Structure 1
Amino acid sequence: MSLALDQAAVFRRLRARLFRNGLSVLMETGRVKLYSMAATSVIVALLVFGLSAFGFLELSKNNLPMKGFIVGGLFDLLFFTLGVMLLMSTGIILYASLFASPESRFLLTTPARADRIFATKFIDAVSFSSWGFVVMGLPILVAYGVTAGVPLAFYPLLPLFLLGYVLLPGAASALACLLFMRYMPRNRRQVLTVAGTVAVVALGVWLYRVSAASKAAVTTNNRDALEGFIGQFSLARNPITPSHWMTNGLLAAARGDSAREILIPLALIWSNGLFAFLLAAFAARRLYRTAFDRTTGSGGRKKVYRGNVLDRVMEWLVFYLDKPTRILVVKDFRTFRRDPSQWAILLLFAGLMLLGVRNFRQFSQAELDGIDKYIVSLVNLAGVSVLLCAGLSRFIFPLISLEGRKFWILGLMPISRRQILVGKFAFAATGSVAIGLTLVVGSELLLGLSPVGVLVHALTILTIAVGLSGLNVGLGAYMPNFRETDPSKIVVGFSGTVNMITGLLFVVVVVALMAVPMHAAAVLRHFNKLQSRDFPWWVYAGLPIGLTLGVVATVLPLRAGTASIQRVEF
């Protein structure tokens, strides 16, 4: 048997062993995490299904053909957007697993081939990044099938199209990651600055054109304007793009066309995806070890770390702290901004939310009814709150655990452990409050919500941001894991699962107490056709309760975490 076959068999056995061990450990000690993940996925899928079915029914009520140009354009845009998200997320995960993982460093010291290591990490990255794609994409397509009355053969074809589609953007991002790490000049800042400037200018021009077309589509409310808006996304409708292959194949299956019309797009998706993977594996065989050596050896020259503008801004934002604590806050911020695997994911989240805010502007230009504005604003508030919960759980909760065995170094500083936790809380609260208030208040102003509604939502997101910061820092110190160096494993562990569930419950309760009563009053006022714009007293009754809950969620975990970390010996 050849060496290649031996290595393939070894890696297959390793993957099977890791899967069995992980499943057994999960069933023995992590059933709560398993059930919570499954329940969350089901809830998200049902919500996406309901919203998608409502949208397709609205298209049907307006006598738009469910298997024609407009739906095809929407599918092109959907798959193109999901493909770009897969491209970015897979590239970020691959960078972290190929060039910043201790496991990859160990595997490169073994006789394992570089392309075999790459294939193993590629499968993990694609599986992880495509989970959200399946949870989001499958309910949309099922809702389309239910509302459009497609043949039964449409449904078994959905997994084949979706699984084939994730290969191409994943392989493309892997190839780009390898080429970038191998051939990018060592002084990457200038190159990235120029590339980023060009990308921002091009994006601005495109957004201006899309804004003009979307304004016409929303305000005129006719078919030609809507087709003109969809035409702005001509790249997604190009016959050579995989998103268009997906649309052609699925619409052919929905219409009940011949097998040839269905299988040719499916074959294009799978064949090009597999070819792109082989091309990336070939590049990994030639470039991976060299790129890894180049990355790890780039610190040969002495680096002089000077002050950064962003660091000074962060220090100014926490001016109310003493000097040693401000230094620790800047240290955490500097560690965060130097790790692309962290800030790139946050940048992706921020981009998605900014895209949503841009869409809200089009709603406001369409002069929505008051009830519609309140519904859209509540969805926006809930979305930002959940994103804050996920982001803080991913980035803030592992901070104490990641100090690990190096925690004793902090003990040499003229600062107490309590001040360390206060600094991490200030770092988390400052960032989350800035992001949350900007997204929520900005979108409410674009919607034209009443001043009372803007104030209530601002208080709600402020309470959620500060409370989640206290929960993540406090529980991270109360239940640390100093044996683990991978933040993703800390997050998905038992303590991370408890923190995530607690944070979600906190978000649900605070939104229900502080924001939902106002929206319920708006709905009642709309259906009862009341002219008064004043809200009843019970709308404001939950505000002090929610604020009190936010204080409790901040103070109690921080006190428990401080007491716990004081007892730890390093």
Structure 2
Amino acid sequence: MTAVLRWWTDMRSLSAVRLKFLKNHFGRPNGDKVTRWLLIGTLGTLFLIADYVFFYRMVAYLDGLPLQVGEELIVQLLNVVFLTLFAMLLFSTIIAALAIYYVSSDLEFLHSLPMIPSAIIHVRFVQTLINASWVMLVFSLPMFVAYGYYFQVTASYYFYLLMAFLPFVVLPCALGVLGIMVLMRYFPTDKAHQILSFLGLFFVAGLVAFLRFLSPEKFFDKKVSDEAIIGFVESLRVPEFPYLPSSWITRGLTAWTEGRLDISFARLGFLYAAAAGALVLFAWISRRIYLSGWRSYQEVKNAPRTKNKNNSNGKSLLAYLPIEPMKQALIAKDLKVFARDPSHWSQMFILLVLVIVYIFNIMNLPLDNLVLKNVVSVLNIGLIGFVLSALIARFVFSSVSIEGRKMWTLYTAPVDMRSFLVAKFWMYWPPLLLVAEILTVASNHLLQVDAYVMKMSVIGVLLITTGLVGMGLGMGAMYPRFDHENMSGISTGTGGILFMISSLAYVMLVLVLSARPMYVHFNEKFLFKFVGGIEVPVFYGLIVALTALVTVVPMRRGIRALRTMDI
């Protein structure tokens, strides 16, 4: 009894500290947090509305199919949704558990306190559960609300949904945390976080590609056939084994809407029994292996690094480029930092998936008119600019801030801030330009545009890439965050939001200025009307001048900010 009372006391103390932290975080927001919350709230609301409309439309189509085929397909669709959620929760839990149980900076202090280790383990489990599941639950909720609204269920349906969600979420969380504890106990390595992050990104990239290749936009066409809908849902078919938690919650939820409460309560009992068993297993195993695994991880992490004896004395490829030696050294440093941080290069898989999905979208555009294809090719320049803005916000804008607290070493070294920023420009500009031009040439080839539009698109993307990279580097130097704890938080700060707004405005201005020259070209090509004059080169000159302005001015201001900054 004394051990249980002490465990409960420790749990309350740790939970009170966590609640006070959350209260201070949300109760005293600064301007940066308010701006970020408003932006995330707006985008999240729009996504939830679109999610609800799409799923409601899907259920309505399926329910209208003849011979009761739609009813079984709706069940199959719900089963796919729950199975996907289960897999995503498992992956998300593994990533979150590694950071919360092993990497977090306050663990050494917590383990030095006179507390029962199981209290720390269980409080961290609740923290992992919340961190890993709240986003998925919020964004999946519109699907089930749309399902309930279509079938006009009572309020008890939503109560049952919440009751079933609890064990459904606890089960993958317990398995994920238990799996990472076993991994860290018997396979301790300081690369575990990078490996698991890479696997998580690979899973997300594959999921995005799979859902996109299903072409769900065809369901917004009123002329869509029943055969197309059946084929779509059949393509989602997964094994519906009776022992899968996704099958339990699916059958329980659909049975509740049909009034078969005995089946619903039986499936709910399965969920709670499985969750309870997973929690008991987790509590028994974690108490025996967690501290040993944590100590092993600390030993590996704090072990002295051995020098690489295979360093070559030969020249690198950078030595053959017409770049100053100082810039070559800075570029080499940035390349090594980029290669050693999997949070950077592992996202190349996401970029590759986005490129494939982008080209796939162009291939499936319902464009039968040659004039419309050429018009879309012009708008395609703006769309590529928007994609570049997102990539530059993530990589280029944050490139100055990732120097972190070691930025002072550059100030003490014989390095000029102009060379520092210019070196970063030449590191990021070529690969981003290559990606943008591949998208441009591939999409224009699929659209079958003429040579003039192809040439202007290639030149336009070249200018847009140059302007955005210069703007991203300059504004990143004007609004650095050297004390960041999370890489993703750099681009979501005030400076990052200002960059996104400025970059999108620049891309829109380029599109507006290019409208008149393209209008003249299309009149000459398709209508044989000559409506252009001296204004065509004037508009092109304005685009070049605007690009030079957004490239040079932010870079100069960023250099000035770095030179006068107090580190």
Q: TM-score, normalised by structure 2?
A: 0.71
C-alpha distance in structure 2 between counterparts of 1:13 and 1:413, whole Å: 46
C-alpha distance in structure 2 between counterparts of 1:46 and 1:304, whole Å: 54
Shift of 1:563: 1.0
1:501 aligns with 2:497: yes
Look up the equivalent residue of 2:176 and give its one-letter code: S
C-alpha distance in structure 2 between counterparts of 1:324 and 1:351, whole Å: 32
Change (3 A) 1:4 1:28: farther
Shift of 1:39: 1.9
C-alpha distance in structure 2 between counterparts of 1:473 and 1:115, whole Å: 47
Paired residue total? 529
1:403 aligns with 2:403: yes
Shift of 1:389: 5.4
8 Å contact kept, 2:62–2:73: no
C-alpha distance in structure 1 between counterparts of 2:52 and 2:269, whole Å: 28
| Alignment map for 1:138-537 (pairs within 5 Å) | 138-146=141-149, 148-153=150-155, 154-162=157-165, 164-184=167-187, 235=238, 237-253=240-256, 255-273=257-275, 275-277=277-279, 279-280=281-282, 282-298=284-300, 299-300=303-304, 302-304=306-308, 321-340=323-342, 343-344=345-346, 346=347, 349-350=350-351, 353=354, 356=357, 360=361, 363=364, 392-393=392-393, 396-430=396-430, 432-433=432-433, 444=443, 448-451=446-449, 469-482=469-482, 484-487=483-486, 490-491=489-490, 496-506=492-502, 508-509=504-505, 512=508
Deviations 1:140-188 (A, max 9, x none): 3333444x33313344544445555443333333333333333337698
C-alpha distance in structure 2 between counterparts of 1:277 and 1:379, whole Å: 54
Change (3 A) 1:517 1:262: farther
Shift of 1:129: 4.0
Look up the equivalent residue of 2:287 and give its one-letter code: R
C-alpha distance in structure 2 between counterparts of 1:337 and 1:82, whole Å: 32
Change (3 A) 1:292 1:461: farther
C-alpha distance in structure 1 between counterparts of 2:540 and 2:65, whole Å: 41
Is the radius of gyration larger for structure 1 or structure 2?
A: 2
C-alpha distance in structure 2 between counterparts of 1:544 and 1:426, whole Å: 25
C-alpha distance in structure 2 between counterparts of 1:533 and 1:83, whole Å: 60
Change (3 A) 1:469 1:60: farther
C-alpha distance in structure 1 between counterparts of 2:476 and 2:133, whole Å: 28
8 Å contact kept, 1:478–1:564: yes
C-alpha distance in structure 2 between counterparts of 1:277 and 1:458, whole Å: 58
| Alignment map for 1:62-81 (pairs within 5 Å) | 68-81=71-84
The DSSP-based 3-state class of the residue aligned with 2:242 is: coil
The DSSP-based 3-state class of the residue aligned with 1:150 is: coil
C-alpha distance in structure 1 between counterparts of 2:89 and 2:99, whole Å: 15
Task: Give the unaligned 5+ runs of structure 1.
Answer: 215-220, 520-530
Change (3 A) 1:363 1:100: same
Change (3 A) 1:76 1:296: same
Shift of 1:8: 0.4
8 Å contact kept, 2:97–2:128: yes
Shift of 1:76: 2.8
Shift of 1:38: 1.9
8 Å contact kept, 1:397–1:473: yes
Q: 1:567 aligns with which of 553, 564, 567?
A: 564
8 Å contact kept, 1:97–1:121: yes
The DSSP-based 3-state class of the residue aligned with 1:177 is: helix
Change (3 A) 1:38 1:485: closer
8 Å contact kept, 1:437–1:461: yes
C-alpha distance in structure 2 between counterparts of 1:71 and 1:295, whole Å: 46
The DSSP-based 3-state class of the residue aligned with 1:476 is: helix
C-alpha distance in structure 2 between counterparts of 1:391 and 1:117, whole Å: 39
Q: In terms of mean alpha carbon deviation, does 6-15 or 111-120 score higher?
A: 111-120
8 Å contact kept, 1:178–1:284: yes
Change (3 A) 1:96 1:533: farther
Shift of 1:5: 1.9
8 Å contact kept, 1:517–1:539: no
Look up the equivalent residue of 1:476 and give its one-letter code: G
Deviations 1:176-220 (A, max 9, x none): 33333333376989xx89x99xx99xx9xxx99x999x9xxxxxx
Deviations 1:214-273 (A, max 9, x none): 9xxxxxx986787677556554533333333343233334x4332233344444445534
8 Å contact kept, 2:32–2:494: no
Shift of 1:121: 4.3
Q: TM-score, normalised by structure 1?
A: 0.71
Task: Give the unaligned 5+ runs of structure 2.
Answer: 217-223, 516-525
C-alpha distance in structure 2 between counterparts of 1:276 and 1:516, whole Å: 59
8 Å contact kept, 1:96–1:341: no
Look up the equivalent residue of 2:34 and give its one-letter code: R
1:110 aligns with 2:110: no
Shift of 1:22: 1.1
Look up the equivalent residue of 2:354 and give its one-letter code: M
Shift of 1:507: 5.7
Deviations 1:387-444 (A, max 9, x none): 76566555554543443442222234443122222333444445555556667766x4
8 Å contact kept, 1:478–1:560: yes
8 Å contact kept, 1:150–1:256: no
8 Å contact kept, 1:242–1:269: yes
Q: In terms of mean alpha carbon deviation, does 538-547 or 285-294 score higher?
A: 538-547
Change (3 A) 1:389 1:273: farther
Shift of 1:13: 0.8
C-alpha distance in structure 2 between counterparts of 1:20 and 1:165, whole Å: 28
The DSSP-based 3-state class of the residue aligned with 1:102 is: coil
Shift of 1:18: 0.6
1:556 aligns with 2:559: no
Deviations 1:22-59 (A, max 9, x none): 12221677433332222222122223333444444555
Q: State the partner residue of 1:84.
A: 87
C-alpha distance in structure 1 between counterparts of 2:351 and 2:248, whole Å: 29
The DSSP-based 3-state class of the residue aligned with 2:308 is: coil
Deviations 1:328-351 (A, max 9, x none): 33433433443445555x267447
Deviations 1:72-123 (A, max 9, x none): 3333333333433333333333333443332234333434455544444444
Q: In terms of mean alpha carbon deviation, does 374-383 or 260-269 score higher?
A: 374-383
8 Å contact kept, 1:182–1:290: yes
Q: State the partner residue of 1:527.
A: none
C-alpha distance in structure 2 between counterparts of 1:362 and 1:102, whole Å: 48
Deviations 1:515-539 (A, max 9, x none): 79999xxxxxxxxxxx9899x9999
C-alpha distance in structure 2 between counterparts of 1:381 and 1:135, whole Å: 34
Look up the equivalent residue of 1:286 and give its one-letter code: R
Q: State the partner residue of 1:133.
A: 136
